[in-house]
Amino acid sequence: MQLLNLPCSSFSTTTTKLSVPFFGLAVVLLLSFASPTISCTEQEESSLISFIDGLLPGHNSSLSMSWVKGTDCCKWEGITCSIDGTVTDVSLASQGLQGRISPSLGNLTGLLHLNLSHNLLDGNLPMELVFSRSIVILDVSFNRLDGSLPEPQSSSDSFPLQVLNISSNLFTGKFSSQQWEVMKNIVALNASNNSFTGQIPSSICINAPSFAILDLCYNEFSGSISPGLGNCSKLREFKAGYNNFSGALPEELFSATSLEHLSLPNNNLQGVLDGSHIVKLVKLTVLDLGSTGLSGNIPDSIGQLSTLEELRLDNNNMYGELPSGLGNCTNLRYLSLRNNRFVGDLSKVNFTWLNLRIADFSINNFTGTIPESIYSCSNLIALRLAFNKFYGQLSPRMGNLKSLSFFSVSDNHFTNITNALQILKSCKNLTSLLIGTNFRGEVMPKDETIDGFENLRVLSIDSCGLVGQIPPWISKLKKLEVLDLSSNTLTGQIPFWISDLPVLFYLDISNNNLTGDIPAALMNMPMLQSGKNAAQLDPNFLELPVYWTPARQYRLLNAFPNALSLGSNNFTGMIPSEIGQLKMLDGFNVSFNRLSGEIPQQICNLTNLQLLDLSSNHLTGALPSALTDMHFLSKFNVSYNDLEGPVPTGRQFGTFLNTSYSGNPKLCGPMLRNQCDREPEHATSPKQQNKKAIIALALGVFFGGLAILFLLGRFLMSMRRTSSVHQNKGSSNGDIEATSSSSVSEHLHDMIKGSILVMVPRGKGESNSLTFKDILKATNNFDQQNIIGCGGNGLVYKAELPNGSKLAIKKLNGEMCLMEREFTAEVEALSMAQHDNLVPLWGYCIQGNSRLLIYSYMENGSLDDWLHNRENGRPLLDWPTRVKIAQGASRGLSYIHNICKPHIVHRDIKSSNILLDREFRACVADFGLARLILPYDTHVTTELIGTLGYIPPEYSQAWVATLRGDIYSFGVVLLELLTGRRPVQVLPKSKELVQWVREMRSQRKDAEVLDPALGGMGHEEQMLKVLDVACKCISHNPCMRPTIQEVVSCLDSVDAALQVQM
């Protein structure tokens, strides 16, 4: 299965620097590119035709037009011949080819270069290509090839292959010693981004003296790193990050003295960085050992690596002071020591002669002031010092850093904010300035002389306790996109000029003492009004993580939502009706203020809104019914106001917790257990009241008499019918019967004509004698106290039958119901889908315009409840149970995708649609609410498909529900199981779980993605494997996602390993 395309996972076979053997190869290839004077042979033509015939039709139209049998194949697209007409080069990258690679290409005896990369080819890699007698460069990267690498027929042979790129495929299995015994000419191997396992063979370099480049990133290799790599005397690049290697770095590895690039991030290495070993790698330019578990100090001998350009030791357990020898690494341009336990004063290191461009010292325990020597690094573009114990004032020399673009000193003990800003304005290229949680209790500078900052895009001065007002000098920052002044003690009103900042899309001034009305001018912010304005944003921006604290998980600038956060102030007045102009707004928070009046209807125009928090104000009136049109709304809170009337129902409003409406006693609705069965009372005069009372009494007597006569007549008729039924032994159990013990309400329900109830036979001996009357009794006439679920498709009621069994009755929304004939045909077809991991459909009922579906009751509720709603005392789901749930859900999905006829696209896979029985067996629910499709067809709709956070990206271009779309949604469910997080958490956390996981993985922080509640239980290895599966499922490219059967196989293998461990 295909992982995401990550930077470590590929190299170019045409641009990589390679040594002596490639000089001769270059000459050969150059000669081969000469124009041929003789056409290719009949055998070569036949081999090429066999190759294209083995591909799936319809995916190679351009080749079909060019590759015409009987014509000169040297003139075919992608074919290059030598001067004598021999085919030497087949280059068909990015042609959209699908199908299997034919071994016939191995018959091209003069072929030197074969490039089939970036296609959709599957199946095994033919042995005839890997062990060809002619191929020198073989590139099949970025396909869907699977299986293990072929084995040679004889270990005594030798083959000319020098470059093998099989990266970004689905290969599995181990590397065998026999494979490398015959690859005696291999120079470069890229096997990254696959699922290879086992260890690196110790003989990998013994038979290949010219081996120079080895890339094994993003696989499942384990065990110790092979000491045999020390025999690779010409090895220049060794990349093996994101695997499961363990143990200490072998001493033999440092015998590979030609190493220039050593990258092993995100493994489970142990031990320390031995100074006596590292100095042997005198040619080293890149050393990346981030997130490996290293401890100890940085050895002073690191300074002897004069060619070192990148040093990444972030996210480890290293400690102590930095060695002074670090100052001797004069070519060092990238230094990341983030998130360790380093201490001491940085001034002990002389940075003067370093070529630093990016320096990250954040999240350590450094003390003292910023070292003066670092101001000599004139090429520095990013300096991160956040979350340390630095103190004092910024030095005037800070202004010498003319190239500085990103500066973060948040959460330290700096003082004199006015001085800091006066100095930093000299950094003309500054785009991000984060200085929050410093300058405690100082005055917000309002000096007009604070100008400059003309390129600033992010300004964060939060959590400082600053007093004063929002300063006017900010109005000059015309490129400002993000402004965070939250958690200070600012007073006064929101200045009118805020709306004049042309590209501002994120404003957080919450937790201050601001007063006055929310100005209507604030609703004129251009970036929040139209998506067309997004083109104004400069994409060529230094994308470094912005915030690190748990409360601020925006990693990159483009992860910020379009948001106005004005909560926890003293704003008064009404919410401006102009709010409806901000079409691009994602989050609007005005909680904990003193706002009054009604919620403006115009707020319903914000169809992109994901968060709306109006809680703890003095708002009155009704909730606008059009709020249900806000399809992406995922967090909604209007608690503690004075609102009244019905709560909107349907769509996302079925998912909000009751606490979203707390403190509004006049609100009513099913989820509040406060029925909206009476019109609100209005004040009237005594005269009007008397008049109404007389009319009501007269109408009551009249209609009451009619009702008594009606009931009496119907009762006599029913008694006659009952007698007839008892005399007729052939009567159906499905008939609606009346008994003397029935309540009047129940009796009236039973006598409604036209009810149709059909129970589905599910096996021998199972009773299907349920009647509609039974359903009414079991749900207490669909009483709201029996509601156990509420979603966009309708309400779900718990039904308890007299024999103690339970059912779940789904009452579908009227707006989505089909006509009777269509509904019957569709549900009866769905009833044929029977599997242990699908919620059983027992029957259906058509009652007037109502449509009911009758399901088995699942004792343990939904996965969503167990992961995200544990307030009622549910215990934590352990990892083995989560694996069991993932397995079961994947098997249920596999059944509806592959086995049942017709195949079904679910369209709304999410954790609340995965239900759990008493034994925590997972069952997929609501699959019957997607329209059926014939095999390999798609269902096209103009309605919103799915639930926010689970919707595949391709659905935004075409509303087409596909099997691959279900895979994406299931990948999100896997991420929920792994992280314990909801798929969407808008403010103040990142927009979507998918986006957050991708960013964490790009920063090599896979382990930090995992649910901390499961930490220390010994399951991290299996969890990281499932994380790999999940990330394959959420690939941007639907074609690169695995099938559900491939997902099932992967989860089964994880479970098998887990059983062995247990």
Quick: pLDDT tens for 109-119. Answer: 999 999 999 88
Is the domain spanning 746-856 CATH 3.30.200.20? The answer is yes
> What does the alpha-carbon distance between residue 757 and residue 768 come to, in Å, rounded to a whole number?
11
Determine whether 908 is an active site residue.
yes
Whether 321 contacts 342, CB under 8 Å: yes
pTM for this entry: 0.66
The pLDDT of 477-488, averaged and rounded, is 94
pLDDT at residue 583 greater than cutoff 60:
yes
User: Which pLDDT belongs to residue 629?
Assistant: 82
pLDDT at residue 104 greater than cutoff 60:
yes
> What does the alpha-carbon distance between residue 146 and residue 621 come to, in Å, rounded to a whole number?
62
pLDDT at residue 851 greater than cutoff 90:
no
More confident residue, 773 or 408: 408
Give one word for 842, left, alpha or beta, with left for phi > 0 and alpha for psi -120 to 50: alpha
- Could you tell me which residues are beta bridge partners of residue 517? 572
- Could you tell me which residues are beta bridge partners of residue 80? 89
Whether 905 contacts 962, CB under 8 Å: yes
pLDDT at residue 978 greater than cutoff 70:
yes
Structure-derived torsion over alpha carbons of residues 354, 358, 364, 370, reported in degrees to the nearest 10: 60
pLDDT at residue 714 greater than cutoff 50:
no
User: Which pLDDT belongs to residue 628?
Assistant: 86
- Could you tell me which residues are beta bridge partners of residue 319? 341
141 confidence band (pLDDT: 50, 70, 90)? very high
pLDDT at residue 262 greater than cutoff 50:
yes
Kindly report which listed range (18-32, 357-371, 881-895) carries the lowest average pLDDT score: 18-32
pLDDT at residue 59 greater than cutoff 90:
no
Kindly report which listed range (627-636, 927-936, 997-1006) carries the lowest average pLDDT score: 927-936
773 confidence band (pLDDT: 50, 70, 90)? confident
pLDDT at residue 879 greater than cutoff 60:
yes
Whether 319 contacts 337, CB under 8 Å: no
Choose from 24-33, 381-390, 633-642, 736-745 the range with maximum mean pLDDT: 381-390
The pLDDT of 1036-1052, averaged and rounded, is 85
Structure-derived torsion over alpha carbons of residues 85, 91, 95, 99, reported in degrees to the nearest 10: 90
712 confidence band (pLDDT: 50, 70, 90)? very low
CA distances in angstroms from 158 to 93, 152, 565, listed in the order given:
28, 10, 67
User: Which pLDDT belongs to residue 754?
Assistant: 47
Whether 330 contacts 353, CB under 8 Å: yes
The pLDDT of 568-587, averaged and rounded, is 94
pLDDT at residue 766 greater than cutoff 60:
no
User: Which pLDDT belongs to residue 6?
Assistant: 35
Domain ranges of the chain: 691-721, 746-856, 863-1061
The candidate with the shortest Cα–Cα distance to 1010, out of 996, 994, 1027, is 1027
794 confidence band (pLDDT: 50, 70, 90)? low
User: Which pLDDT belongs to residue 516?
Assistant: 96
Q: Coil, helix or strand for 304?
A: helix
Give one word for 360, left, alpha or beta, with left for phi > 0 and alpha for psi -120 to 50: beta
742 confidence band (pLDDT: 50, 70, 90)? very low
pLDDT at residue 19 greater than cutoff 90:
no
> What does the alpha-carbon distance between residue 540 and residue 538 come to, in Å, rounded to a whole number?
6
The candidate with the shortest Cα–Cα distance to 61, out of 52, 70, 48, 69, is 52
Catalytic residue among 314, 586, 750, 908: 908
Q: How many residues does the chain have?
A: 1062
Pairing outcome for strands 570-572 and 515-517: parallel
pLDDT at residue 447 greater than cutoff 90:
no
More confident residue, 448 or 342: 342
797 confidence band (pLDDT: 50, 70, 90)? confident
> What does the alpha-carbon distance between residue 38 and residue 85 come to, in Å, rounded to a whole number?
5
929 confidence band (pLDDT: 50, 70, 90)? low
User: Which pLDDT belongs to residue 515?
Assistant: 97
Q: What per-residue string of b and e applies to 202-226 under the rule 16 or more CB within 10 Å gives b?
A: bbbbbbbebbbbbbbbbbbbeeebb
User: Which pLDDT belongs to residue 524?
Assistant: 92
Q: What is the percent of the chain with per-residue pLDDT over 70, rounded to a whole number?
A: 77
CA distances in angstroms from 759 to 734, 769, 823, 834, 1015, listed in the order given:
9, 8, 15, 14, 47
The pLDDT of 798-802, averaged and rounded, is 87
- Going 658 to 661 to 665 to 668, the CA torsion angle's sign is negative
User: Which pLDDT belongs to residue 934?
Assistant: 30
Kindly report which listed range (4-18, 298-312, 329-343) carries the lowest average pLDDT score: 4-18
First to last CA, the chain: 27
813 confidence band (pLDDT: 50, 70, 90)? low
User: Which pLDDT belongs to residue 567?
Assistant: 95
Whether 458 contacts 482, CB under 8 Å: yes
Kindly report which listed range (37-41, 269-273, 453-457, 472-476) carries the lowest average pLDDT score: 37-41
The candidate with the shortest Cα–Cα distance to 796, out of 982, 610, 929, is 929
* Token representation of residue 409: 């000193």
Q: Coil, helix or strand for 101?
A: coil
User: Which pLDDT belongs to residue 334?
Assistant: 95
> What does the alpha-carbon distance between residue 95 and residue 104 come to, in Å, rounded to a whole number?
19
> What does the alpha-carbon distance between residue 986 and residue 999 come to, in Å, rounded to a whole number?
16
User: Which pLDDT belongs to residue 105?
Assistant: 96
pLDDT at residue 480 greater than cutoff 90:
yes
The pLDDT of 547-563, averaged and rounded, is 51
The candidate with the shortest Cα–Cα distance to 1047, out of 927, 967, 978, 934, is 967
Kindly report which listed range (747-761, 922-936, 957-971) carries the lowest average pLDDT score: 747-761
596 confidence band (pLDDT: 50, 70, 90)? very high
> What does the alpha-carbon distance between residue 879 and residue 1019 come to, in Å, rounded to a whole number?
7
Whether 620 contacts 641, CB under 8 Å: yes
Which phi and psi angles does 413 have, rounded to 5°?
-130, 40
More confident residue, 815 or 415: 415
> What does the alpha-carbon distance between residue 989 and residue 1012 come to, in Å, rounded to a whole number?
17
DSSP annotation of 932: B
pLDDT at residue 579 greater than cutoff 90:
yes
Pairing outcome for strands 358-360 and 334-336: parallel
The pLDDT of 19-41, averaged and rounded, is 51
* Token representation of residue 440: 């405690």
Order of strands, sheet of 244-247, starting from the edge strand that comes earlier in the sequence? 197-198, 220-223, 244-247, 268-269
User: Which pLDDT belongs to residue 788?
Assistant: 79
Whether 1054 contacts 1027, CB under 8 Å: no
- DSSP secondary structure, 505-542, as one string: -EEE--SS--EEE--GGGGG-HHHH-GGGGGGS-S---
More confident residue, 951 or 259: 259
The pLDDT of 954-981, averaged and rounded, is 81
Whether 561 contacts 506, CB under 8 Å: yes
452 confidence band (pLDDT: 50, 70, 90)? confident
CA distances in angstroms from 239 to 286, 331, 459, listed in the order given:
10, 21, 37
The pLDDT of 269-290, averaged and rounded, is 94
Structure-derived torsion over alpha carbons of residues 251, 256, 257, 258, reported in degrees to the nearest 10: -150
Helical ranges in 765-819 per DSSP H: 772-778
Choose from 300-304, 548-552, 715-719, 771-775 the range with maximum mean pLDDT: 300-304
- Determine if residue 348 is labeled as part of a ligand binding site: no
Rg (CA), the chain: 34
The pLDDT of 913-919, averaged and rounded, is 91
Q: Do domains 746-856 and 863-1061 have the same CATH topology?
A: no
Whether 489 contacts 515, CB under 8 Å: no
User: Which pLDDT belongs to residue 407?
Assistant: 95
Whether 930 contacts 900, CB under 8 Å: no
Kindly report which listed range (350-359, 596-605, 691-700, 888-897) carries the lowest average pLDDT score: 691-700
The candidate with the shortest Cα–Cα distance to 133, out of 160, 155, 151, is 160
Kindly report which listed range (120-134, 678-692, 775-789) carries the lowest average pLDDT score: 678-692
Which phi and psi angles does 311 have, rounded to 5°?
-130, 110
> What does the alpha-carbon distance between residue 819 and residue 798 come to, in Å, rounded to a whole number?
26
Single-letter amino acid, residue 1001: R
CA distances in angstroms from 722 to 270, 717, 737, 750, listed in the order given:
82, 9, 7, 13
> What does the alpha-carbon distance between residue 973 and residue 1048 come to, in Å, rounded to a whole number?
14
Q: What is the percent of the chain with per-residue pLDDT over 90, rounded to a whole number?
A: 49
Helix-then-strand count for the chain, H and E: 19, 55
User: Which pLDDT belongs to residue 757?
Assistant: 65
Is the domain spanning 863-1061 CATH 2.60.40.3620? The answer is no
Helical ranges in 728-805 per DSSP H: 744-750, 772-778
pLDDT at residue 75 greater than cutoff 80:
yes
715-720 contacts, C-beta under 8 A, 24 or more apart: 715/747, 718/747, 718/751
User: Which pLDDT belongs to residue 352?
Assistant: 95
* Token representation of residue 1031: 């990330």
Q: Tell the residue number behind the tokens 């017709």, with chain if given.
A: 902
Q: Coil, helix or strand for 424?
A: helix
Mean of the per-residue pLDDT values for the chain?
Answer: 80
Give the H/E segment covering residue 1053.
Answer: helix 1044-1061
Give one word for 1028, left, alpha or beta, with left for phi > 0 and alpha for psi -120 to 50: alpha
